[in-house]
Amino acid sequence: MITTQPSCNDIHEPGLIPVKDALARILAAVPVVSGYERLNIEHARGRTLYQSIISAVDVPAHTNSAVDGYALHAEDLPGQGTRRLEIIGQAFAGRPYAGDTARGQCIRIMTGAPMPAGLDTVIMQEQVQLSDNSIELDSRHKAGQNVRQAGEDIRQGQSVLQPGKYLTPPDIGLCASLGIAEIDVRRKLKVAIASTGNEVFGIGQTLGTGGIYDSNRYSLLAALDRPDIEVINLGILEDDPETLLKRFQEAGAYADVIISSGGVSVGEADYTKTALQGSGQVDFWKVAIKPGRPLAFGRIGKAAFFGLPGNPVAVMVTFYQFVLPALEKMLGITNKPIAPTFLAKACENLRKKPGRTEIYRGIIEQSEHGEWRVKTTGKQGSGILSSMSLANAFIILAHDSTDIKAGEWVMVQPFSGMF
């Protein structure tokens, strides 16, 4: 009798962890990094806020006009018919009107200009009849209209941004509106990356027999090119357990995270997993997902360790499904623009075995009637990196689902929310 060995394609292999369980274990294991730095706000986009932003001023600082028009006393609004008011001055955003205004009088006012003393209503310039130095208005208007009250946006002493906020351009503008030039953000995450395999060659080298160029490290470099991450490039590492463990342990002394690709499957030359096991801190290395089943996760030194598969598509899939959520937890991000998933109608049949999550590379588009549709990018092998380049979304087929027929609804995850 022949005893079979575990296979990457065997969905009944012992020890396979469902995707949701693997992600939960990863997130439970990785800590939020400590430490922060103070940055000028113009360099803070894409960083994580460390301390609350408290407003020292009201925004707006003064009651002002929301439109170009005419400021007046609400008591001068006609109950019915029309009324004529005399224009006695002008108010601009940088040059307010400083005089008094009696009943029956109004002030020409521009957007953002402080409201003159005693006036509480603004009529849009398009809604009056202008004649010499007076205006005529009708009874359609209400007291207090077109006026922005001091502090109606933000009150002095109000907490406007909380720790864990992933800082976006509007957040930077908000800080500037409060007169805040510098803020405290969580320090950068230090991420070391490496490729493994004697068949892997660097760009510019002459390929040996059976050799391939190192695309995985460049995909990861691009994926990690963001303001809150410092990348440590370990290059291509020799396929030797002792050498790998030594280099990983050296990186683990200063990096928060180590990401390698290759060498985590079940072959005799898959040394990354062996090196990780040598550290004595392996959590798991098999996940019920296609592509990407061989995924090693553990710890080396103080660093969380991700041993990603060697196939280039599997590297991308496992990075975005497992590694990126872990990095963002470690960065302390608790409030970030969402990366949505939603249903789209499949344009073709999709084969699916129950017992694992399967991720296709797809192209989503919207019909003229607003219906989202998705088709695959063609061949879906885990070594076909062009399937990722052509795609604009992942098609995620759930753990227990079976074959999908054209016209059925499937879950899609747009790249625009992740890349």
35: left (phi over 0), alpha (psi -120 to 50) or beta: left
Structure tokens at 67: 């439109």
CA dihedral over 382, 383, 388, 390, signed as positive or negative: negative
pLDDT confidence of residue 352? 96
Q: Domain 64-148 class?
A: mainly beta
Closest CA to 87 of 128, 147, 141, 140: 128
Which superfamily, per CATH, for 17-34+188-330?
MoaB/Mog-like domain (3.40.980.10)
Residue 229, φ and ψ in degrees, nearest 5: -130, 135
Identify whether the C-beta of residue 385 lies closer than 8 Å to the C-beta of residue 311: no
CA dihedral over 267, 287, 253, 281, signed as positive or negative: negative
Residue 348, φ and ψ in degrees, nearest 5: -155, 165
pLDDT confidence of residue 280? 61
- 272 burial level (CB within 10 Å; 0-12, 13-18, 19+): buried
- Provide the residue type at 105 as one letter: Q
pLDDT confidence of residue 2? 34
- Alpha-carbon dihedral angle through residues 79, 85, 88, 94, given to the nearest 10 degrees: 50
- 112 burial level (CB within 10 Å; 0-12, 13-18, 19+): middle
pLDDT confidence of residue 1? 35
Cis status of the peptide bond prior to 60, with omega within 30 of 0: yes
Domain extents for the chain?
17-34+188-330, 36-58+158-186, 64-148, 342-417
pLDDT confidence of residue 10? 52
Q: Does domain 342-417 have CATH number 3.40.50.2020?
A: no
Whole-angstrom distance, CA of residue 210 vs CA of residue 92: 74
Structure tokens at 20: 């949701």
Closest CA to 180 of 15, 49, 324: 49
Closest CA to 299 of 22, 78, 26: 26
pLDDT confidence of residue 168? 97
Whole-angstrom distance, CA of residue 376 vs CA of residue 378: 5
Whole-angstrom distance, CA of residue 208 vs CA of residue 185: 46
Closest CA to 286 of 314, 313, 259: 314
Whole-angstrom distance, CA of residue 319 vs CA of residue 229: 15
Angle at 192 between CA 188 and CA 193, to 5 degrees: 130
Whole-angstrom distance, CA of residue 201 vs CA of residue 306: 21
Specify the 3-state DSSP secondary structure of 42. helix
- How many Cα neighbours within 13 Å face the side chain of 64? 23
pLDDT along the chain (419 residues), means of 10: 42 77 96 97 98 96 97 96 97 95 97 97 97 95 97 96 97 96 98 92 89 94 97 91 88 95 65 71 88 91 92 96 97 91 97 96 94 96 94 97 97 90
Structure tokens at 217: 């490290």
Identify whether the C-beta of residue 104 lies closer than 8 Å to the C-beta of residue 62: no
Identify whether the C-beta of residue 73 lies closer than 8 Å to the C-beta of residue 119: yes
Report residue 331 CA to chain centroid gap. Answer: 12
- Provide the residue type at 331 as one letter: L
* Third-level CATH fold of 36-58+158-186: Molybdopterin biosynthesis moea protein, domain 2 (3.90.105)
